[in-house]
Chain A
Amino acid sequence: MFKKIMMPVDLAHQGDLKKALACAADLASHYGAEIVYVGVTAAAPSATAHNPEEFDAKLKEFAAGQGREHGVTASSKTVLCHDPTTDVDDAIVKAAKDTGADLVVMASHVPNVLDIVWPSNGGRVAEHVDCTVMVVRS
């Protein structure tokens, strides 16, 4: 049913991703799909990496690790944007189109009152991509 699964990951908060990561891997092995892990970063140094090249290398390593752990084909894609706080949704939407993914699996926070004025990433992404989006409550 699915050939390519895309999963946005925040390497600085891997703890919050556990359930979604397992879910993406299960789906991938069930359907024989490959997974693309997408990371969004700014050019400025962050908690994860000191520059985009290093970020890219870490993401690759992360993807390879996930692939080995779950026995699925995994790759990675780094998206560079100027202001990750506000641009992350657009970056994910664009990555979904660029990678040609037919399923997006992403982790979600517990919905709260702020979502009324500031919609969640998952909601925004689902609104703007053509493929299926699965939001995994952590």
Chain B
Amino acid sequence: MAEETTNQGIPRPEGNADLIQTDYEIGQDNIQTKVGPFGLDIHNPVFVISGLVIIAFVAYALAAPTQAAEFFGWLRPALTSTFDWFFLWSANIFVLFCLVLIVSPYGSVRLGGTDARPDYGYTGWFAMLFAAGMGIGLMFFGVLEPVYHMAISEPLGVPSPIAEDGSIIEANVDAARRMGLAATSYHWALHPWAIYAVVALALALFSYNKGLPLTIRSAFYPIFGERVWGWTGHIIDTLAVFATLFGLATSLGFGAQQANAGLEHIYGLPNNTTVQVILIIAITGVALISVLRGLDGGVKVLSEINMVIALLLLLFVLFAAGVGGILSDFVAGLGAYLREVVPLSNPHGRDDTGYMQGWTAFYWAWWISWSPFVGMFIARVSRGRTVREFVTCVLIIPSLVCLLWMAVFGGAAIDQVLTDPAGSAVKAQVIDSYNPPLSLFAMLEGLPLSSITSTIGIILVIVFFVTSSDSGSLVIDTITAGGKVDAPVPQRVFWCTFEGLVAIALLIGGGLGALQAMVISTGLPFTVILLMICFAIFKGLMNEKRG
């Protein structure tokens, strides 16, 4: 079995990494063919099944929009309210698992073998983690959530400082302000990044150290053994493609609506389907250029541009809203987060179900349904890091950035609401009426140069979508090519375009909400899968050389 002739052979162990011996050869199930001038190298049957199932679901959502909306509209809250304890406990386990890895001796295992060196420097690596992982969410929720949790959802029963008649109850202000930031940070700091870290670590470990293909099924090798190359694996990979493509397409549809709302708000552009379709085509077009330019020339460059623009906007809000106040918000928010993270993570004996089920459980399902995509992308760019470095950088540093972001955007917004409740646009858009897409722009309106910063805000929203779309297309392309990272170019063009088309179809025909609810519903089975992955990681790390 271990003969080394020309190629396609089973390798001898390299000494510095613990290869898994399997008869499976990467690409053995692939079909290499030509459709017209387009060369293809696709996995059979994952590529075809994912494509067809996606078309079938879009057809269903278009043919029976009311029925689909009713069913999935019921399913999602039903899952998050029934299984809230399960989501909360699982997320806690992922955080603890990561923290244990940091301090355990396994932390010194290097992804890619003892002699591997990191593929990317810290700046590029970090920019890509962030842009793929949650960039767009920060834009959307950075203002909305802190204000909402301060004034409306009352996490852990901390009372709102806004009275029925809109006046301020001074006695409640300090505690509510701290809780607004802490309750938001809880959703954006350690827990989501622990979810991503678990998936990413499993994929990196089983691919770079064990020599299995870079696709989701490889993480299940310690559990299912050789069966992962059969239908068990086909189903896992198809589900991942499915969650990724629908997650991206529905976000793209909603993102176009948000950008359109912003454009209407600032420039008075009409808010209709035509403008939104044009936005989707533009976003997909830029994403297409990005995937054609590849990981280094496209995705990385865009992610870095994004980081710079986001940083500038962050600094602007920080200084415009008052450095002193914001930094004290950051410190108070961090302190409150550390104090409240344990009570917030405990699902038992709580009265704030609106917050716990409607926000926390929903978020956990959401992060988990996105984890195959983000995890795989993180794995793709993380070779050469040690497990300790990897987990620290994926868990701790993004968490701190999120805390800072929320303190700046949330703190500035809360300040506006509390100092001038009657004149605050944030209060009008978040508390008096619930208008999430406009919350960021409402906050920027309260600061100087709002027409410039709002335009930058819209650009940032759009570019964040591009960076999600291009990295997502790369991930889907790799999965549907059976873990090959060198599949022909037309395939990534296909997935990137397909994603835009699905978004347009759902936008015109209705069904964006239903399918997004469905994607989030996949969070439940994936949670079980993630718990199994934690076990697989431990098993995999045990045989690795440290140092």
Contacts and interface: CB of A to CB of B under 8 A. Distances in A.
A5 B119 CA distance: 29
A82 B25 contact: no
B489 A85 contact: yes
Interface in A66-101: 81-87
Contact of B489 (A53, A58, A118): A118
A45 B4 contact: no
B295 A45 contact: no
A55 to B, nearest CB: 10
A38 B217 CA distance: 31
Contact of B380 (A44, A85, A86, A112): A44
B349 interface: no
Interface string B262-305: 00000000000000000000000000000011111110000000
B207 A44 contact: yes
A112 B474 CA distance: 25
B483 A45 contact: yes
B119 A82 contact: yes
Interface in A106-138: 109, 112-114, 118
B485 A14 contact: no
Interface in B482-503: 483-490, 492
A86 B112 contact: no
Interface string A14-47: 1000000000000000000000000000111111
A1 to B, nearest CB: 31
B410 interface: no
B294 A85 contact: yes
A46 B112 contact: no
Nearest to B20: A50
Interface string B430-460: 0000000000000000000000000000000
A86 B26 contact: no
Contacts of B207: 44-45
B321 to A, nearest CB: 39
Contacts of A62: 6-7
Interface stretch (B11-19, B56-64, B93-101, B155-163): B11-19
B88 interface: no
Given A45-B26, A114-B37, A50 B211 contact: yes
A65 B7 CA distance: 13
B419 interface: no
A47 B293 contact: no
B152 to A, nearest CB: 45
B113 interface: yes
Given A53-B113, A54-B11, A86 B119 contact: no
A51 B17 contact: yes
Interface residues of A toward B: which range? 20 to 34
Most chain A beta-carbon neighbours within 10 Å: one of B11, B17, B25, B296: B11
B122 interface: no
A86 B298 CA distance: 10
A83 B294 contact: yes
A51 B15 CA distance: 12
Given A58-B4, A85-B492, A51 B211 contact: yes
B485 A83 contact: yes
A57 B120 CA distance: 24
Contact of A42 (B17, B212, B485): B485
A40 to B, nearest CB: 9
Given A53-B113, A86-B293, A114-B490, A45 B211 contact: yes
Nearest to A113: B37
Nearest to B111: A43
Most chain A beta-carbon neighbours within 10 Å: one of B7, B38, B113: B7
Given A45-B211, A47-B8, A51-B211, A86 B489 contact: yes
B27 interface: yes
A51 B112 contact: yes
A63 B298 CA distance: 34
Contacts of A114: 37-38, 490
Interface string B200-223: 000000011001111000000000
B383 interface: yes
Contacts of A14: 6-7
A82 B295 contact: yes
A112 B486 contact: no
A114 B489 CA distance: 11
Interface in B200-254: 207-208, 211-214
Interface of B: 4, 6-9, 11, 14, 17, 19, 25-27, 36-39, 112-113, 116, 119-120, 207-208, 211-214, 292-298, 380-381, 383-384, 474, 483-490, 492
22 contacts: A12-B7, A12-B8, A43-B112, A45-B214, A47-B8, A50-B11, A51-B19, A51-B113, A54-B11, A58-B4, A61-B6, A65-B6, A83-B474, A84-B485, A84-B486, A85-B488, A86-B294, A87-B295, A87-B296, A114-B37, A118-B292, A118-B489
Interface of A: 11-12, 14, 42-51, 53-54, 57-58, 61-62, 65, 81-87, 109, 112-114, 118
Nearest 7 A/B pairs, CB to CB: A86-B294, A50-B211, A83-B295, A47-B27, A112-B37, A83-B294, A84-B486
